[in-house]
């Protein structure tokens, strides 16, 4: 019996809604977990997690091309993953091997994150980073390339990893370049959050703030931050930043990607949480001296929310 197009469309919409809801739940869990460790501690684990993720992709690509793990690959696994081979029964299925390797890595390398309650955040933000996306894209390219052109030897992981970071996510935009631009954009958003308590109303900018603003954004007058609703001031300042410092990215049509990656970046999530707290505290008591930006940024990085 044939299913009507309307029924199929309804099922597809329901599936899409379920997936979207699952993503929202995962994002909410990750945003709470990421606040349980300082940025320095989380960042170190984040970088290590991405590198392990790339290692699994490299292993999977070779197993896919060879039809199973070769002697040389097993030797690498024994060296890098200690008792993984002894614990896991060797398999010729790339997906199954990747799953077992992921489980071993999480148990051995990131047990502390699990114990401290932020392993889900590590995974959520790790797989969404431009670096990891570059590794995924390069892995897919290698699988097809090695399938079409079989070879007797394959690049070592370090060589493969460097190539993955140079792989284009967009025309003439490597994964490494995307990481740099996203990080720069996040830095500017942090600067905007530092200015946030002054946005809206008729609050006069402290001399030090006005000086820092002139140094970083000489075309943007401090008076433009006040005299209108906070949201309008915020939008005006962010637009100025994008027009002044990210015009080329916008012309190349990947500014939306940068915005999306910034919105889902663990450091930006932390900055927002700290900014919200500062805004609440200053609205209750505006008398404390306004902190220098670098001091404020360090405090945001070290900010931890207790359970």
Nearest to 265 by CA among 90, 55, 11, 39: 39
Task: Return the pLDDT at 33.
Answer: 95
- For residues 208 and 286, membership in a common domain is answered with yes
> Phi/psi at 173 (nearest 5 deg)?
-125, 105
Structure confidence at residue 2 as a pLDDT band (50, 70, 90): very low
Instruction: List, for residues 163-184, the tens digit of each pLDDT value.
Output: 999 999 999 999 999 999 999 9
The last residue of a domain, from among 134, 166, 198: 166
Rounded Cα distance between 171 and 190, Å, is 28
Exposure of 307 in the CB half-sphere (CA atoms within 13 A): 7
pTM, two decimal places: 0.88
Last residue in a domain, options 131, 166, 201: 166
**Cβ atoms 92, 69 nearer than 8 A:** yes
pLDDT of residue 202: 62
CB-based contacts of 244, cutoff 8 Å, min separation 6: 217, 219
Helix axes 175-195, 293-302, angle to 10 degrees: 110
Instruction: List all residues 6 or more positions away from 265 whose beta carbon is below 8 Å from its beta carbon.
Output: 125, 182, 186
Taking alpha carbons only, the member of 104, 1, 106, 99 closest to residue 45 is: 106
> Does residue 8 lie in a domain region?
no
Average pLDDT over residues 256-283: 95
Residue 205 DSSP SS3: coil
Indicate the pLDDT class of residue 8, thresholds 50, 70 and 90: very low
Q: Which domain holds residue 85?
A: 34-166
226's tokens:
């006040």
Instruction: Give the lowest-confidence range in 91-100, 210-219, 256-265.
Output: 91-100
Alpha helices in 149-174 (DSSP H): 157-165
> Are 118 and 184 in a shared domain?
no
Task: Indicate if the alpha-carbon torsion angle 192, 193, 195, 201 is positive or negative.
Answer: positive
Judge if 294 and 208 occupy the same domain.
yes
Instruction: Please count the structural domains in the chain.
Output: 2
pLDDT confidence of residue 82: 77
Residue 33 CB contacts under 8 Å (≥ 6 apart), including other chains: 117, 118, 119, 120, 121
| 244 plus 146 within the same structural domain | no
The answer to whether 198 touches 209, Cβ cutoff 8 Å, is yes
Asked whether residue 141 falls in the same domain as residue 223, the answer is no
What's residue 1's pLDDT? 38
Q: Do 196 and 290 have their domain in common?
A: yes
Q: How far apart are alpha carbons 68 and 91 in whole angstroms?
A: 7
**Cβ 181 vs Cβ 263: under 8 Å:** no
The per-residue pLDDT for range 191-223, each reduced to its tens digit, is 999 999 888 766 667 888 888 999 999 998 877
125, 116, 105: which is closest to 52 by C-alpha?
A: 105
Consecutive H or E run containing 174: strand 173-174
- What's residue 16's pLDDT? 72
Burial of 49 (0-12, 13-18, 19+ CB in 10 A): buried
Distant-in-sequence, close-in-space partners of 63: CB < 8 Å, separation ≥ 6: 69, 73, 92, 94, 97
- List pLDDT tens digits, range 56-86: 999 999 998 888 888 888 889 888 887 887 7
The domain boundary residue, chosen from 146, 166, 186: 166
Kindly state whether residues 118 and 216 are assigned to the same domain. Answer: no
């Amino acid at each position: 019996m044939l299913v009507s197009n309307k029924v199929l469309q309804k099922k597809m919409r329901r599936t899409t809604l379920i997936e979207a809801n699952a993503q929202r739940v995962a994002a909410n869990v990750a945003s709470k977990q990421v606040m349980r460790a300082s940025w320095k501690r989380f960042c170190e684990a984040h970088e290590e997690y991405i590198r392990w993720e790339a290692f699994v992709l490299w292993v999977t690509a070779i197993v896919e091309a060879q039809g199973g793990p070769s002697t040389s690959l097993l030797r690498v696994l024994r060296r890098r993953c200690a008792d993984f081979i002894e614990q896991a029964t060797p398999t010729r299925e790339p997906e199954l091997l990747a799953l077992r390797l992921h489980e071993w890595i999480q148990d051995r390398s990131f047990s502390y994150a699990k114990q401290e309650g932020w392993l889900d955040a590590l995974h959520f933000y790790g797989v969404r980073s431009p670096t990891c996306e570059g590794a995924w894209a390069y892995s897919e390219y290698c699988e097809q390339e090695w399938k079409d052109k079989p070879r007797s030897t394959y690049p070592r992981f370090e060589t493969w990893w460097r190539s993955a970071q140079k792989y284009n996510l967009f025309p003439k935009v490597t994964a490494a370049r995307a990481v740099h631009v996203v990080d720069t954009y996040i830095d500017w958003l942090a600067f905007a959050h530092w200015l946030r308590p002054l946005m809206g109303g008729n609050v006069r900018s402290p001399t030090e703030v006005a000086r820092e603003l002139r140094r970083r954004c000489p075309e943007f007058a401090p008076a433009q931050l006040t005299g209108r609703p906070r949201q309008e001031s915020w939008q005006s300042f962010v637009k100025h930043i994008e027009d002044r410092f990210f015009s080329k990215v916008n012309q190349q049509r990947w500014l939306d990607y940068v915005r999306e990656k910034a919105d889902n970046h663990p450091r930006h999530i932390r900055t927002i949480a700290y900014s919200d707290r500062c805004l609440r505290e200053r609205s209750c008591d505006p008398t404390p001296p306004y902190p220098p930006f670098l001091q404020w940024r360090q405090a945001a990085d070290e900010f931890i929310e207790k359970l």
